[in-house]
Chain A
Amino acid sequence: MGRSKQLEAAGVVIAVALLIFLPRVSSDYVVGIAITAFTFTVAAAALNLVYGYGGLLSFAQLAFWGIGGYCTALWVMDAGGSFWTGLALAAGLNAVLAIAVGWPALRLHRDSFVIVTLAFSLLTFLVARDWVGLTRGPLGLPGLPAPTLFGTKLASTQSIYYLSLAFLVASLGVLYAIVTSRIGRTLLALKQNQPLGLAHGVSPTPYKLFAFAVSAALTGMAGGIQVFYLKIVDPSILDFYYIQAWLIMVIIGGAGTFWGVVIAGLVMAALPEVLRFSNELRMVIYGAILVVAVLALPQGIAGWLRERRIARLRATIERA
């Protein structure tokens, strides 16, 4: 294990330990914000896998989030299943949908992938709003029951907090394993130079579909947890606001930088609540940040720091 790996591991252990103690020292309001911050961070990190590593700007994450929420809720309310099987079902359904949507969308080029995934999200929204027989339409499904774990009801905000913290740690573990594996390196290589990858005999589509399916499954589970925290799912779970927030987290954190996006996700999900802006003003500020960040810091804050480090290294080497 190199020095930076040791630092990384120490940072993760300390952060998790602090987060485990958070509910003991703060109010339910803060704990509630933290739950949303965790699900958002998983969604942003999953988007980072597709966009940051895979080079595919996917707007379908919004649909996966909403489908995950609806699937889990409907499984519990209408089919009488448990929350946990509902989550697993949401993950599986999303992975299948990701492949079904991704395969035709990847046929032409990256431009059409963007539009097809966007259309998929809008279609999902229309289904949620207009297919009243299945989704109850605009009223949604209120009064979702608390999930049960080994006979105990996870009724308090605190218990949902620990559930979503465990989910955060597990999902980030999966994503970290993927991005540091050969698959992650192949994705990055294809993003940087696809023709070169092709010349080495790498077929890009299976790698991209894999990343897309994994991110869809994780985002769906995050959506499932989020709606059971809110105790209601309605078409507003498919508001464009969510994908905009995740994209900003990925951009600010640095697309293709694992910890940068995680930190940006946690901070940016919590910050507006702390600053107490009105929703409109927050989105105006988010939009302005997005424009400035993309124009001035194309690699995100983490990328900017990395560039500076490389520049410093270079200067030292030249001096020597």
Chain B
Amino acid sequence: MPVDATYLLQLTLNGLMLGLIYALIAAGLALVFGVLEIINFAHGELLMVGAYVMAFALPALGGQYIPAMAVALLASALLGFVLYHGFLARLRDKDFERSILVTMGISMVLLYGCQYLFSATPKMVNTEFGFAGIAVGSIKITWTRVIAAGLAIMAFAFLWFILFRTQFGRAMRAVSINREAALMVGVRPQSVARNAVVIATVLCGLAGAALAPIHLVQPIMGQFLLFKAFALIIIGGLGSMSGAIFAGLALGILESWIGGFFDIIWQEVAGFIVMMAVLLVRPQGLFGQAAVRTG
């Protein structure tokens, strides 16, 4: 097959868009893992809830994108708050397996509850922009995608600002680097953990809300993305946010290229194959610090 430059550019742009969504999910997952040392199985459902809030807020607000997005983000922040205080705060340290089981239970309640209330039928969502977009050369990109990408990039800038320029973010990084030392210098673990969960939930809600007008909204949408995000945080190194973001972007582009030239199965499988390879060659992840072998 001759490689057409426009086609390749189209694939790359699509992949970049997909990669930004992956990166949003994986960054939140890595943040929660770094600070709380838990793996959040309900993370995909947080995305689904963001998408559903967007899907209900958009028609209610007459299709206005930004106000509906604000509603979705607020709802996500609230959900993160409840998730932390209702459930995660009750887990003790070193409760890795229990944290998985609890978040899996929450994910089941949200996923099947949503299916029970709204049925498994996918919803289509329309915005004020409709299918209008901008043209780059011969490639047309819809506004919903452009805005989604812009919001994701803004979210990363904001995240960087919080983590590296505010006291509140430095506390989060301190806890994820060395928990005991952070406690000794007076960081309050509860509020740091709550902040991390709320930020992760908002990132996830943003991903869901941005996806809502682009993809079909359905209860199962979060689950598969979550499983990919797991692969991403392994590739990037557990707890490494920059690793997760980089791996997310790279996987989005890689999948899009593979999808453009090969059979669809390879597109879905790519992330897992890379993950297996990384585990065999560099088990601490591409960006992780070398860890002590324990098993």
User: Across the two chains, which residue of chain B brings its CB closest to A243?
Assistant: B104
What distance in Å separates the Cβ of A86 from its nearest Cβ neighbour in chain B? Answer: 25
Interface-lining segment among A24-32, A99-107, A172-180, A259-267: A99-107
Q: Report yes or no: B39 in contact with A111, Cβ–Cβ below 8 A.
A: yes
Closest to B280 in A: A104
When distances are taken between beta carbons in the complex, the residues of chain B under 8 Å from A116 are: 234, 275-276, 279
Q: How many residues of B contact A (CB 8 A)?
A: 44
Task: Name which of A10-18, A38-46, A155-163, A290-298 contacts chain B.
Answer: A290-298
Subset of 25 A-B contacts with CB under 8 Å:
A104-B283, A106-B295, A107-B279, A107-B295, A108-B291, A108-B294, A109-B294, A110-B295, A111-B39, A114-B39, A114-B97, A115-B39, A119-B272, A123-B272, A126-B268, A130-B268, A244-B108, A247-B104, A278-B116, A280-B115, A280-B116, A284-B113, A291-B109, A294-B102, A295-B102
Do B284 and A290 touch (CB < 8 A)?
no
B269 within 8 A of A: yes
Q: Find out whether the CB atom of A119 lies under 8 angstroms from the CB atom of B108.
A: no
B257 at the interface (CB under 8 A from A): no
Residue ID in chain B nearest A108 by CB atoms: B283
Interface segment out of the listed B185-193, B223-231, B247-255: B223-231
| Those of B101-122 within 8 Å (CB) of chain A | 101-102, 104-109, 111-113, 115-116
Cβ of B87 under 8 Å from chain A: yes
Contact A284 B116 (CB under 8 A): yes
Interface string of B271-295 (1 = CB under 8 A from A): 0100110011001100000010111
| Nearest Cβ on chain B to A108's Cβ, whole angstroms | 4
Please tell me if the beta carbons of A130 and B264 are within 8 angstroms of each other in the complex. yes
Known: A107-B293, A108-B279. A294 touches B105 (CB 8 A): yes
State how many angstroms separate the Cβ of A98 from the closest Cβ of chain B. Answer: 15
Shortest Cβ-Cβ A-B pairs, 3 listed: A287-B108, A290-B105, A291-B105
Interface residue? A112 (CB, 8 A)? yes
Q: How far is the CA of A291 from the CA of B106 in the complex (A)?
A: 7
* A188: interface (CB < 8 Å): no
Extra pairs beyond A130-B268, A298-B98 (8, CB < 8 Å) = A57-B97, A107-B283, A114-B39, A126-B265, A194-B294, A284-B113, A288-B105, A294-B105
Q: Is B149 among interface residues, defined by CB-CB distance under 8 A?
A: no
Q: Is residue A281 within 8 Å, beta carbon to beta carbon, of the partner chain?
A: yes
Q: Does A304 contact B (CB under 8 A)?
A: no
Q: Which of A111-131 contact B (CB under 8 A)?
A: 111-116, 118-119, 122-123, 126-127, 130-131
Interfacial residues, chain B to chain A (CB-CB below 8 A): 39, 87, 90-91, 96-98, 100-102, 104-109, 111-113, 115-116, 223, 227, 230-231, 233-234, 238, 263-265, 268-269, 272, 275-276, 279-280, 283-284, 291, 293-295
A278 to chain B: closest residue by CB: B116
Q: Given the complex, which residues of A lie within 8 Å of B87, measured CB to CB?
A: 291, 295
Picked from A109, A278, A279, A289, the residue with its CB within 8 Å of the CB of B295 is A109
Asked whether, in the complex, the Cβ of B105 is within 8 Å of the Cβ of A287, the reply is yes
Q: Is the C-beta of A283 less than 8 angstroms from some C-beta in chain B? A: yes
Taking each of B102, B108, B264, B280, which has the highest tally of chain A beta carbons within 10 Å of its own beta carbon?
A: B108
A118-B230, A280-B115 known; A287 vs B107 contact (CB < 8 Å):
yes
CB distance from B155 to the nearest CB of A (A): 25
| Complex-state Cα separation, A290 to B107, whole angstroms | 11
Whether A286 sits at the interface, judged by CB under 8 Å, is yes
| Given contacts A280-B112, A284-B108, A287-B109, A108 and B102 within 8 Å (CB-CB) | no
- A56 CA / B111 CA spacing, docked (Å): 26
Collect the chain A residues with CB atoms within 8 Å of residue B98's CB: 294, 298
